[in-house]
Structure formats: structure tokens, C-alpha cells
């Protein structure tokens, strides 16, 4: 199978989008690429970073480039579910209740500082993320298609933060971090101070219909059986490691396959190779692993590297079946 001209052009527009985002969120091409990877795989993304490194700017810029309906929800300790999903109000004409949609009813939702709110409100987010629907007064309301949650959280040891439950963490396809810019990147930022103005001037680069077509194409990307077994072996090794309390879930395995296919698509290939898997394992595994002893991010990434080194990498990847 080879891609159609339309698909190839859409993929190249994605690469243009990455370059455009880099002009505003300087030096974060790989984070932008992984964010788009997750969205192509119909997944949500959790950005964990200290304040002020550009998480919100990145998400807003991607939304503008895709011409997607966008909303930002600022999570606080007093936020309640109706602040997110909406509420019912009486209709004076027919004495019935009318549903007023909340900010969750958008295609891209920036959940800012998501770990600052209560478990009750997190439960409402969990339903939205997992089922792409919300429930109010016993009635179910479908969310837009596509629907992505791009959430930010401060490190858990910061004041006023609550740990996200494992079930909710598992709904995020990737956990990413922008980190501090390099000195050279920071100089570029100082030379280009009008970043917010630049966002307003952006023209959409890829239509949502084209983006949805690429999402459908992701599901057609070929994966050799050896690579399927490799993905399962990586997850299985995490479940039986003595240092791990909670390993990679079956949902995590399915997400790994989807993300590897997205990576192949971004590389303009209609089949997955081992490097596609290896390039997404860390952001896909790091927030799903629960250890007997608390580890920082660097130690978790080192653990994942050691896990990878213990599993033989397949040698076949092309269409040999």
C-alpha cells in the first residue's frame, strides 16, 4: 500500500505545522510532534512541567493551526463538575429544563493545572476522556468529534496539587514535558517577544476534515506480527518486574500500537518499524508505571531504558505476511 497524493500532502502539512509552531514555541519540535502523534491516535496528552515554560502557548498554537474549536478550563480546588460539563436551567416557555453546555464541549480542551481540583471534578473529566460523553441529571450528552484533552499539571510536590488517580492517568496516551529552553533558544525567545500576537495572525494549516482523514489512515498502517509481540513483551516485562507495583495495562498496550502507527504515518511510511515503537515508549510508559518506591522522572526514564534493553528488538518490519 502507498499513500494517496491527498494523504501525502496532508502529512506534509503536518510537518509545516510543526515548523510554524516552532517559530512561536521555540525549540520544542519533538514535543509538538509527539502531541500531534497522540491526537492522530485519538489520544489525550498530559504535560507535566513547572509554570512558565510554554505549555499553554503550545496547545493554543496547535489549536489555531488546526482551526479547531478550543476552550481553556482553569482547574482550581473549588471547581465543580457543572463548571466543566454545563448545567440545566428551566425553560420558561415549556416548563422543561434546558441543558447549557460547558467548556468541555469543544474539539480541543486545554485542562490547565488539572491536578489542582477535587476527585469529584476529576471523575467528570474521566468520563469525558474515556467515553467522549458527559452525564448530567441522568442524561448522556455526546462530546464533539474529534475531542482531545491536552492537560497541564504542575509537579506533584508543588503546593496545592492532588495526585491524579491511576485510572485517569491511563487515559492519557502520552506524558510530555517541555523543560527549560536552552540558552540559545531563550535568546531566540527574547528576539521574538510578540508570541501571543503571532498566534492571532496564524492561518489554519490543516483542516480538521483532513486531520480526521489522517486519523482514519493511521488504522490502516501495517504492523508485522513480530512487532505486535514486541509491544506485548515490553508491557509484560513491566508487569513482572520486582520494582514495579503496577505495570502497563492492556489499554496501554493498545495505545502503544496506535502511537507507533501514528509515528510511522508522520514518517510517511505505511508500515511500522521498531524505531517507531522505541521513539514513543518513554512518554507512553512513564505515567503508567507505579513503583514500590517513589522515583523521579529521570529515574523512571532510566528504568524504561533498562526494560527496553532486556527485550530483543525484532529484525523484520516490512510487509512480510
Helices 250-266 and 5-24, axial angle in degrees (round to 10) = 100
For the domain spanning 221-321, the CATH number is 1.10.8.80
Residue-wise pLDDT for 262-278, tens only, equals 999 999 999 999 999 99
- Residue 306 sits at the vertex; the CA angle it makes with 304 and 308, to the nearest 5 degrees, is 70
| Cis check: omega of the bond before 146, within 30 degrees of 0 | yes
* Domain-wise residue ranges, the chain: 1-220, 221-321
Confidence check: pLDDT of 103 > 60: yes
Q: What is the mean pLDDT of residues 134-159?
A: 85
Residue-wise pLDDT for 188-228, tens only, equals 888 876 766 778 888 899 998 899 999 999 999 999 999 99
pLDDT, mean over the chain: 90
227 class by beta-carbon count within 10 Å (0-12 exposed, 13-18 middle, 19+ buried): buried
Q: What is the per-residue pLDDT for 51?
A: 79
Cell numbers linked to 52: 512558565
Helices 5-24 and 55-66, axial angle in degrees (round to 10) = 150
DSSP string, 171-190: TEEEEE---PPPHHHHHHHH
Confidence check: pLDDT of 73 > 90: yes
Fold type of domain 1-220: Rossmann fold (3.40.50)
- Predicted TM-score (pTM) of the model is 0.91
Name the β-bridge partners of 88: 99
Q: What is the per-residue pLDDT for 321?
A: 46
Amino acid at each position: 500500500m502507498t499513500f494517496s497524493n491527498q494523504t501525502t500532502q496532508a502529512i506534509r502539512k503536518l510537518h509545516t505545522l510543526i515548523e510554524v509552531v516552532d517559530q512561536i514555541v521555540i525549540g520544542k519540535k519533538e514535543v509538538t510532534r509527539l502531541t500531534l502523534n497522540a491526537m492522530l491516535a485519538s489520544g489525550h496528552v498530559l504535560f507535566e512541567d513547572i509554570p512558565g515554560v510554554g505549555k499553554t502557548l503550545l496547545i493554543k498554537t496547535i489549536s489555531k493551526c488546526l482551526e479547531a474549536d478550543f476552550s481553556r478550563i482553569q482547574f482550581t480546588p473549588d471547581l465543580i463538575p457543572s463548571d466543566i460539563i454545563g448545567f440545566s436551567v428551566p425553560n420558561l416557555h415549556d416548563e422543561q429544563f434546558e441543558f447549557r453546555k460547558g467548556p468541555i464541549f469543544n474539539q480541543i480542551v486545554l485542562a490547565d493545572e488539572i491536578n489542582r481540583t477535587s476527585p469529584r471534578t476529576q471523575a467528570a473529566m474521566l468520563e469525558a476522556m474515556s467515553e467522549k460523553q458527559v452525564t448530567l441529571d441522568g442524561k448522556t450528552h455526546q462530546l464533539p468529534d474529534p475531542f482531545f484533552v491536552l492537560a497541564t499539571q504542575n509537579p506533584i510536590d508543588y503546593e496545592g496539587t492532588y495526585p491524579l488517580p491511576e485510572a485517569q492517568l491511563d487515559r492519557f496516551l502520552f506524558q510530555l514535558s517541555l523543560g527549560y529552553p536552552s540558552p540559545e533558544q531563550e535568546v531566540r525567545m527574547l528576539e521574538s517577544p510578540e508570541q501571543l500576537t503571532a498566534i492571532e495572525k496564524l492561518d489554519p494549516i490543516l483542516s480538521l476534515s483532513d486531520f480526521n482523514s489522517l486519523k482514519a489512515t493511521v488504522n490502516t498502517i501495517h504492523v508485522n506480527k513480530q512487532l505486535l509481540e514486541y509491544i506485548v513483551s515490553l508491557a509484560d516485562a513491566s508487569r513482572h518486574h520486582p520494582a514495579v507495583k503496577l505495570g502497563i495495562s492492556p489499554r496501554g498496550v493498545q495505545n502503544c500500537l496506535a502511537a507507533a502507527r501514528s509515528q510511522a504515518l508522520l514518517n510517511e511510511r505505511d508500515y511500522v518499524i521498531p524505531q517507531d515503537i522505541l521513539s514513543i515508549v518513554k512518554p507512553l510508559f512513564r505515567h503508567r508505571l507505579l513503583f514500590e518506591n517513589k522515583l523521579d522522572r529521570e529515574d523512571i526514564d532510566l528504568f524504561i531504558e533498562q526494560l527496553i534493553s532486556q527485550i530483543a528488538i525484532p529484525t523484520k518490519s516490512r510487509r512480510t505476511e
